[in-house]
Amino acid sequence: MAIPASSSAQQARRALADRLAELCRDAGLSGLDLAGRCEWSRSKSSRIMNARTTPSADDIRAWCAACGAEEQIEDLIAMLRTAEGMWVGWRRMERAGLKAAQEARMPLYRRTRRFRSYSSWLVPGLIQTEPYTAAVLRAIQKRRGLVDDVAGAVAARMERQRVLREGGRRFAFLVEESVLRAGIGGAEVMAGQLSHLIAVSALSNVSVGVVPMSPERERWPAEGFWIYDNAQVNVELISGYLTITQPSEVAMYAETFAELAALAVHGPPARALIASSMESLG
């Protein structure tokens, strides 16, 4: 398994590798000795101890047996599951369908009080219209060859939007101007979505900012991400879904959000950009 470019994920895998290396040393074994006992290639134990290869649960069981440390198996497999949970490929995340993937995130949304979202690809899910969501999820379902449960997935996302109007929560959304102009679902769907953005921006607990397109811009667009309170960041990449909980790394995303927010327009100027995008639809 390749290690994703996140210090949170890297450190979790590094911690697991260090624990396995420690067991090997405590048993008085070299990496070569352990490979022989496990009937592995000579390089496998070295790659695992140096965090270049993530072990499987069966690898951990064999490793602990070779070191006479079977009592460590349960804890080490739990460490593996934690590390794996930080990086989830889309195929794995959506293997039970899009509806289940949407529902799985609901507890996180319910316990969060302050949301910050930046998107350079699409309108964020919490402020999507139903037709826009349907167009997005239908495109994903077709592209990834998933079971067709788009209707249920759309309903789950619409249900999630109730948090917008439940008391005590604050929301700050940033989108690139290109998100308003590129569109998905056709002119009618986009017109409805842009109109909805204007309406949402008037809510007292919601801020909508638009980062204007500019040839003189120095802070370039980033991958889309969500910040939940100051506890967690989720990043949506082409290959999968990254969860970040390391405080220093969460702070990096918060700093990036602040930099992008400083470039954005809000209030009437933002609504003017949205209205301009609506007019361009013809």
Q: Does the structure show a pLDDT above 90 at 59? A: yes
d(CA 253, CA 227): 8
Which of 47, 63, 86 is at the close of a domain? 86
d(CA 251, CA 245): 10
Burial of 199 (0-12, 13-18, 19+ CB in 10 A): exposed
Within a domain: 104: yes
Domain count, the chain: 2
Fill in the amino acid letter for 262. A
- 66 shares a domain with 105: no
pLDDT of the residue at 118: 98
- 48 shares a domain with 108: no
Q: Does the structure show a pLDDT above 90 at 90? A: no
What value does the mean pLDDT take over residues 127-132?
98
Within a domain: 56: yes
Which of 61, 86, 111 is at the close of a domain? 86
- 266 shares a domain with 142: yes
- 135 shares a domain with 24: no
Length of the chain: 282
Residue 68 C-alpha from the chain's centroid: 38
- 120 shares a domain with 250: yes
pLDDT of the residue at 89: 77
pLDDT band at 8 (very low <50, low <70, confident <90, very high): low
d(CA 8, CA 14): 10
- 260 shares a domain with 126: yes
Find the domain containing 131 and state its range.
94-280
216: Cβ–Cβ under 8 A, 6 or more apart, which residues?
none
Here the CATH number for the domain that contains residue 68 is 1.10.260.40
Mean pLDDT lowest for which of 24-28, 47-51, 241-245, 250-254?
241-245
Residue scoring higher pLDDT (130 or 92): 130
Q: Does the structure show a pLDDT above 80 at 37? A: yes
What value does the mean pLDDT take over residues 226-236?
94
- 194 shares a domain with 109: yes
Is residue 156 within 8 A of residue 103, CB to CB? The reply is: yes
Residue scoring higher pLDDT (215 or 12): 215
pLDDT of the residue at 3: 40
- 18 shares a domain with 49: yes
Mean pLDDT lowest for which of 127-131, 183-187, 238-242, 259-263?
238-242
Q: Does the structure show a pLDDT above 80 at 282? A: no
Fill in the amino acid letter for 6. S
pTM over 0.85: no
- 112 shares a domain with 54: no
Within a domain: 54: yes
DSSP letter for 173, please.
Answer: E
Q: Could you give the C-alpha distances from 159 to 5, 154, 273, in angstroms and in order?
A: 33, 9, 29
Here the CATH number for the domain that contains residue 242 is 3.30.870.10
Which of 51, 86, 121 is at the close of a domain? 86
- 100 shares a domain with 126: yes
